[in-house]
Amino acid sequence: MSALGGSSAVVWENYRAGQALFSEATTPSGPVAVARLSQQLEQEVEQLAQQNPNYKRLDRTALLAILAARGSTEGTQPEGKWGVNIGSSRGATGLFEKYHQDFIKRGEAHTLSSPTTTLGNVSTWVAQDLQLPAMSLGHSVTCASAMHAILNGIAWLRSGMVEAMLVGGTEAPLTPFTIAQMQALNLYSKNTDGFACRALDLNKTANTMVLGEAAATAVLVLGDHPQAQGHICGYGWGTETLDHHTSLSKQADCFQDSMKMALTAAGLESVDAVVMHAPGTILGDKAEYRALQEVFGSGLPFLVSNKHLIGHTLGTSGMLSLELAMLMLQQRDCPVNPFLEQAIEKPQQFKTVMINAVGFGGNAVSLIVCK
């Protein structure tokens, strides 16, 4: 569920088109670029909210997660022990802002202000909607939240405590206060047309982050499965030494550690391509690129991004990058970034693709997927 669409066919069509999917939003400081859901997906959200009286009271993050999870589990038989782990950087930000505004006006909180804004209610409602008697948990590791959900899923599966794990991320950050927070950090793009987000433009002189809304989930199981679309053949993580609230070293040490760990786990020295985190900020893009140079040397893989098309979906972004990697394996093609001069020509096909994600606090995750 993103500006790219809600099905693999539509998502891939939009990737092939290569057009930025931004529209304008009005904020107290003026118009900004954002990446909203398509009109068709927006209708699905509205219809979902009418299906159940409880759903009318849920935050948009939970509604998006429910719809994504329905798509991921369609055609599966929920037998055995399941787990649900949905991550989110911001959580129920829209509902929280609304309830807080009401509190300022009336001096008292809404009855459901607590249970509907806790981060854990996202996974819980997903499990309820799917009628899964599952262990449900939520977490926030900022912009790497969905990728950390995958790591959690792998750990739960390997422990034998579950037989299937529904993992992912959800984010609905297109609210005045959330956008204002990014503007306060001087991260938000001042452009509203075309490629407002210039992710992987290593020569840009201003930050160009653009926020987008999205939810994406996947089902993980161990070993082979007749419905498997691909395999995670390597995974790794890394952290930064914090010297600032938005810490990321100039060479992204956390990415170097996570990528090396993933390569070692996969038994590989390199991969065909890397779907980068590349948020569209000066420091973030350059630091990750330097980390790639440190890890791969002169043999840089083909570098791919999607934030120049759909912006930064915060906690969901890593799962959308995983979706792109899976499509690259299936379609033997990939979108080409319009700003970056590649070290190699685009491969004719992709057999191994690495995905990177990192968030505030320097918590990086790298995955490698293969056919």
3-state helix, strand and coil shares in percent for the chain, rounded to the nearest 5: 40, 20, 40
CB 273 within 8 A of CB 355: no
Pinpoint the alpha helices (H) of 107-248: 120-130, 145-159, 176-184
Residues 100-127, mean pLDDT to the nearest whole number:
92
- Distances 305 to 96, 164, 276, 336 between C-alpha atoms, Å: 31, 29, 5, 8
What pLDDT digit, counting tens, does each position of 298-319 carry? 999 999 999 999 999 999 999 9
- Which residue, chain included where needed, has tokens 């690129």? 289
Q: What is the pLDDT of residue 227?
A: 86
What pLDDT digit, counting tens, does each position of 356-366 carry? 999 887 799 99
Q: What is the pLDDT of residue 240?
A: 84
pLDDT higher than 60, residue 8: yes
Strand ranges across the sheet with 30-35: 23-27, 30-35, 211-212
Q: What is the pLDDT of residue 245?
A: 56
pLDDT higher than 80, residue 82: yes
Check: pTM over 0.85? Answer yes or no.
yes
What pLDDT digit, counting tens, does each position of 208-238 carry? 999 999 999 999 999 988 888 899 999 999 9
Q: What is the pLDDT of residue 133?
A: 85
Task: Write the secondary structure of 93-129 as one string of H (helix), E (strand) and C (coil).
Answer: HHHHHHHHHHHHHHCCCCCCCCCCCCCHHHHHHHHHH
Q: What is the pLDDT of residue 250?
A: 87
Name the nearest CA neighbour of 341 among 294, 284, 303. 303
Strand ranges across the sheet with 82-87: 135-139, 82-87, 164-171, 214-220
Beta strands in the chain (DSSP E): 23-27, 30-35, 82-87, 135-139, 164-171, 211-212, 214-220, 231-239, 273-275, 302-304, 352-357, 363-370
What pLDDT digit, counting tens, does each position of 281-297 carry? 999 999 999 999 999 99
Give the angle subtended at the CA of 62 by the CAs of 61 and 64, to the nearest 5°: 65
What pLDDT digit, counting tens, does each position of 247-273 carry? 678 888 999 999 999 999 999 999 999
- Which residue, chain included where needed, has tokens 């915060």? 314
Give the angle subtended at the CA of 96 by the CAs of 95 and 101, to the nearest 5°: 100
For the chain, give the percent of residues with pLDDT over 90: 86
Q: What is the pLDDT of residue 160?
A: 95
Residues 6+ apart with CB under 8 A from 269: 263
- Which residue, chain included where needed, has tokens 């992912």? 168
CB 232 within 8 A of CB 369: yes
What pLDDT digit, counting tens, does each position of 144-180 carry? 999 999 999 999 999 999 999 999 999 999 999 999 9
Whole-number Å distance between alpha carbons of 119 and 141: 12
Q: What are the tokens at 50?
A: 């009418």
| CATH numeric code, 8-370 | 3.40.47.10
Whole-number Å distance between alpha carbons of 340 and 329: 22
Chain center to CA of 189: 19
Q: What is the pLDDT of residue 360?
A: 80
